[in-house]
Structure 1
Amino acid sequence: MLRLHLTFCALALARAFQPRPYAAAAASVRSIGFRGGKSSGPQSFHSLQALSTPEEVEHMQMLKSQDGRWAKRTKQVATLGPASSSREVIEALFRAGVDVFRLNFSHGEATEKKALVDLIRSIEEQYDHPIAILADLQGPKQRVEQFQGDGSVMLRDGQSFRFDLDVQRLGDETRVGMPHPEIINTLQVGDTLLLDDGKLRMTVTGSGDGFVDCNVDIGGKLSNRKGVNTPTIVLPISPLTPKDREDLLHAMSFEVDWVALSFVQKAADMAELRGITGNKVKILAKIEKPQAVDDLKEILNYSDGIMVARGDLGVEMQPWEVPVIQKRIIRACREVGKPVIVATQMLESMIDNPTPTRAEASDVATAVYDGADAVMLSGESAAGKFPLESVRMQADIIANVERDPDYLERIHEDSMKDIVGGTSQNDPTNAIVQSGRSIAREVQATAIICFSVTGTTVLKTSQSRPEVPIMAITDNIRTARFLALSWGIYPVVVPRGVITSIGIKDAVRAAARSSMEKGLARNPADLLVMMAGLPFGTPGVVNFLRICPAGGPDVWEPPTPGSGLLANHDAHM
Structure 2
Amino acid sequence: MSTKVNRRTKIVATIGPASESAESIGQLLEAGVDVFRLNFSHGSIEQHAAVAERIRKQSAVHGRYVGILADLQGPKIRISSFSNGSIKLAVGDRFRLDSGITEDGGDQHGVSFTYLPMLDSLHSGDILLLDDGRIRLRVDDIEKSAVDCTVTVGGKLGSRKGINRLGGGIAAPALTEKDIEDIAGLGRIAPDYVAISFVSSLEDIEHAKSLLDAQDLSVAVIAKIERAEVVADDDILNGIIKASDGVMVARGDLGVEVGDAELIGIQKDLISRARRMDRLVITATQMMESMISSSMPTRAEVFDVANAVLDGTDAVMLSAETAVGEYPVEVVKAMADAALGAERHPVARTSRYRLERQFASPQETIAMSAIYAANHYGNVRGIASLTESGTTPLLMSRLSSGLPIFALSNKPRTLSRLSLCRGVIPLYFDASSFEHEDIEVSAIEYLRDSDLLSQGDSLLLTRGEVMGTPGDTNIMKILPVS
Name the TM tier (shorter chain). Answer: over 0.9
Conserved in 1, the CA contact under 8 Å of 2:242 and 2:277?
Answer: no
Query: 1:319 aligns to what?
Result: 260
Say yes or no: does 1:222 pair with 2:157. Answer: yes
Query: 2:338 aligns to what?
Result: 397
Give 1:171's match in structure 2, choosing from 81, 106, 115.
106
Give 1:249's match in structure 2, choosing from 154, 171, 184.
184
Q: Alpha-carbon deviations, 1:90-109, whole Å to 9, x = none?
A: 11111121111111121223
Query: 1:38 aligns to what?
Result: none
Q: Alpha-carbon deviations, 1:263-321, whole Å to 9, x = none?
A: 22222222211111136111111112212323321111121111111122221221111
TM-score (norm 2): 0.93
Give the number of aligned pairs.
Answer: 474
Matches for 1:35-434 after TM superposition, within 5 Å: 67-148=2-83, 150-168=84-102, 170-278=105-213, 280-294=218-232, 295-409=236-350, 412-413=351-352, 416-417=353-354, 420=356, 425-434=359-368
Conserved in 1, the CA contact under 8 Å of 2:312 and 2:348?
Answer: no
| One-letter amino acid of the counterpart of residue 212, structure 2 | T
Shift of 1:547: 1.3
Q: Cα gap change, 1:356/1:164 in structure 2, threshold over 3 Å: closer, same or farther? A: same
Shift of 1:252: 3.4
Shift of 1:425: 4.0
Conserved in 1, the CA contact under 8 Å of 2:202 and 2:239?
Answer: yes
99-108 or 434-443: which moved more?
Answer: 434-443
Shift of 1:75: 0.8
Conserved in 2, the CA contact under 8 Å of 1:203 and 1:214?
Answer: yes
| One-letter amino acid of the counterpart of residue 439, structure 2 | A
Shift of 1:521: 0.7
Shift of 1:197: 1.5
- Provide the C-alpha distance between the structure 1 equivalents of 2:31 and 2:193, rounded to a whole number of angstroms: 22
Query: 1:488 aligns to what?
Result: 423
Say yes or no: does 1:516 pair with 2:448. Answer: yes
- Provide the C-alpha distance between the structure 1 equivalents of 2:81 and 2:325, rounded to a whole number of angstroms: 28
Conserved in 1, the CA contact under 8 Å of 2:26 and 2:59?
Answer: no
Conserved in 1, the CA contact under 8 Å of 2:464 and 2:473?
Answer: yes
Shift of 1:406: 4.5
SS at match of 1:168: coil
SS at match of 1:284: strand
Query: 1:445 aligns to what?
Result: 380
CA RMSD of superposed structures (Å): 2.1
Conserved in 1, the CA contact under 8 Å of 2:38 and 2:71?
Answer: yes
Shift of 1:360: 0.7
Query: 1:533 aligns to what?
Result: 464
SS at match of 1:143: coil
Conserved in 2, the CA contact under 8 Å of 1:437 and 1:464?
Answer: yes
- Provide the C-alpha distance between the structure 2 equivalents of 1:101 and 1:348, rounded to a whole number of angstroms: 18
SS at match of 2:306: helix
Shift of 1:83: 1.4
Conserved in 2, the CA contact under 8 Å of 1:352 and 1:384?
Answer: yes
- Provide the C-alpha distance between the structure 1 equivalents of 2:94 and 2:292, rounded to a whole number of angstroms: 37
TM-score (norm 1): 0.78
- Provide the C-alpha distance between the structure 1 equivalents of 2:225 and 2:166, rounded to a whole number of angstroms: 13
Q: Cα gap change, 1:72/1:326 in structure 2, threshold over 3 Å: closer, same or farther? A: same
Q: Give the greater-gyration-radius structure (CA).
A: 1
Shift of 1:333: 0.8
- Provide the C-alpha distance between the structure 1 equivalents of 2:113 and 2:47, rounded to a whole number of angstroms: 31
502-511 or 272-281: which moved more?
Answer: 502-511
240-249 or 129-138: which moved more?
Answer: 240-249
| One-letter amino acid of the counterpart of residue 476, structure 1 | K
Structure with more relative contact order (C-alpha pairs < 8 Å, separation 6 or more): 1
SS at match of 1:215: strand
381-390 or 107-116: which moved more?
Answer: 107-116
Q: Unpaired runs of 5+ in structure 1?
A: 1-63, 552-573
Shift of 1:233: 4.8
Q: Cα gap change, 1:407/1:168 in structure 2, threshold over 3 Å: closer, same or farther? A: closer
Q: Cα gap change, 1:129/1:151 in structure 2, threshold over 3 Å: closer, same or farther? A: closer
Percent identical among aligned pairs is 39
Shift of 1:248: 2.4
Query: 1:435 aligns to what?
Result: 369
Conserved in 2, the CA contact under 8 Å of 1:164 and 1:184?
Answer: no
| One-letter amino acid of the counterpart of residue 532, structure 1 | R
Shift of 1:494: 4.1
| One-letter amino acid of the counterpart of residue 392, structure 1 | K
Query: 1:36 aligns to what?
Result: none
SS at match of 2:48: helix
